[in-house]
């Protein structure tokens, strides 16, 4: 098992006033410390337009700095949004970071969401095919002296694309995944999974099985198969066991809050989250029924505080998520939090 840190480069904000300078410098200091204490990898997202959620539109700039202040830790694109840029440009920037880090790059890929895609003039309906075309081009670019390509979205006349990657034949590749279809797609391409969702352990077991059963029977997009599952989990360790669990639970619920643009555009997001987190626990079954019947004034007030409707469907699922307490989430393995003893037990 490996342990890494995933950075959104977040900062609490008022309006649009964010101290970007301090944010980036503190991030670099944290990463330098992570290298010194033995974390395996750093992963940085690529997001656009998400005020207060992410300040990482071009993580390769931070990677240039990290290449000079870290020594052992792996540096991960987590992930590079392939439909947003020409594959040649992506190949060039990944190769430069790989050279600067002496071959420490991990290359995650993805498609992002409609909110960001539309902001960059990309048709969301095209992004799966664009990702597929790009992921097939990139390993060939890194391995070819002269590269030439004609496709649906990109054409490249014969060119020598420089530099080449430090790692031979190329870095490991991954796909950001949020659904069973994307797990199967990653396996089909012979690349690793970077699961963007958090799962209860019993749910995670079934998701992992889908990937593992398919990964060995494939013709990989690159020169080799990367059989890897990376799971995103909110974690916090503190001497105060309950405080740590409450803070981690609050962090995760805020991460998936109804005010987030990437949640607002997703159909069935909260129903899926509730299922992924293990469903409604037994001791809340009766309470959840009251949410659906809209018959309890106290619960209506709580729903208003959580910006939740009491209708069946997403509003009800959102309300149920609001009632999942920190101890339930920790017991299920959805969060890893508490004092050192309980964190190790989880």
Per-residue pLDDT of the chain (346 residues; tens, 9 = 90+): 999 999 999 877 777 788 899 999 999 999 999 999 999 999 999 999 987 788 999 999 999 999 999 999 999 999 999 999 999 999 999 999 999 999 999 999 999 988 899 999 999 999 999 999 999 999 999 999 999 999 999 999 999 999 999 999 999 999 999 889 999 999 999 999 999 888 999 999 999 999 999 998 889 999 999 999 999 999 999 999 999 999 999 988 888 887 776 676 677 788 888 889 998 877 766 666 555 444 445 555 655 555 544 444 556 677 778 888 999 999 999 999 999 999 988 7
CA distance 81 to 196: 14
Q: Which fold has domain 4-171?
A: TIM Barrel (3.20.20)
CA distance 146 to 158: 6
Which SS3 state, helix, strand or coil, does residue 103 take?
Answer: coil
pLDDT value for 72:
98
222 and 168 in contact (C-beta within 8 Å)?
Answer: no
In angstroms, the Cα distances linking 30 to 23, 42, 138, 166, 283 are: 11, 10, 31, 26, 40
CA distance 127 to 143: 25
Over its C-alpha atoms, the chain yields an Rg (Å, rounded) of 21
Domain boundaries, the chain: 4-171, 242-345
pLDDT value for 279:
86
CA distance 206 to 101: 36
pLDDT value for 309:
46
94 and 44 in contact (C-beta within 8 Å)?
Answer: no
Of 138, 122, 125, 263, nearest to 196 (Cα)?
263
Cβ contacts of residue 152 below 8 Å, gap of 6+? 129, 133
Q: Which residue has the tokens 């508490």?
A: 338
pLDDT value for 319:
75
pLDDT value for 254:
85
């Amino acid at each position: 098992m490996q342990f890494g840190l995933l950075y959104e480069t977040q900062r609490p904000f008022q309006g649009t006033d964010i101290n970007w300078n301090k944010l980036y410098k503190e991030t670099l200091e944290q990463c330098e410390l992570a290298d010194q204490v033995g974390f395996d990898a750093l992963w940085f997202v690529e997001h656009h337009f998400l005020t207060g959620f992410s300040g990482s539109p071009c993580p390769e700039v931070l990677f240039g700095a990290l290449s000079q202040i870290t020594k052992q830790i792996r540096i991960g694109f987590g992930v590079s949004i392939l439909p947003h840029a020409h594959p040649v440009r992506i190949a060039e920037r990944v190769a430069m970071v790989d050279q600067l880090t002496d071959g420490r790059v991990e290359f995650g890929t993805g498609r992002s969401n409609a909110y960001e895609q539309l902001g960059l003039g990309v048709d969301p309906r095209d992004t799966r095919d664009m990702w597929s075309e790009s992921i097939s081009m990139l390993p060939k670019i890194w391995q070819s002296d002269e590269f030439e390509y004609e496709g649906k979205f990109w054409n490249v006349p014969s060119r020598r694309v420089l530099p080449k990657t430090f790692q031979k034949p190329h870095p490991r590749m991954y796909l950001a995944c949020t659904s069973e279809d994307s797990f199967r797609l990653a396996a089909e391409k012979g690349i690793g999974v970077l699961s963007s969702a958090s799962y209860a352990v019993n749910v995670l077991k079934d998701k992992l099985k889908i990937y593992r059963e398919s990964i060995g029977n494939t013709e990989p997009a690159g020169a080799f198969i990367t059989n890897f599952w990376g799971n995103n989990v909110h974690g916090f360790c503190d001497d105060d066991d309950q405080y740590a669990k409450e803070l981690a639970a609050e962090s995760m619920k805020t991460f998936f809050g109804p005010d987030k643009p990437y949640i607002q555009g997703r159909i069935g997001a909260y129903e899926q989250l509730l299922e992924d987190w293990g469903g409604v626990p037994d001791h809340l079954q009766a309470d959840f029924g009251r949410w659906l019947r809209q018959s309890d004034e106290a619960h209506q007030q709580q729903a208003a505080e959580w910006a939740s409707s009491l209708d069946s469907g997403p509003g009800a699922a959102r309300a149920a998520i609001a009632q999942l307490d920190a101890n339930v989430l920790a017991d299920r393995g959805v969060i890893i939090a508490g004092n050192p003893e309980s964190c190790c037990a989880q």
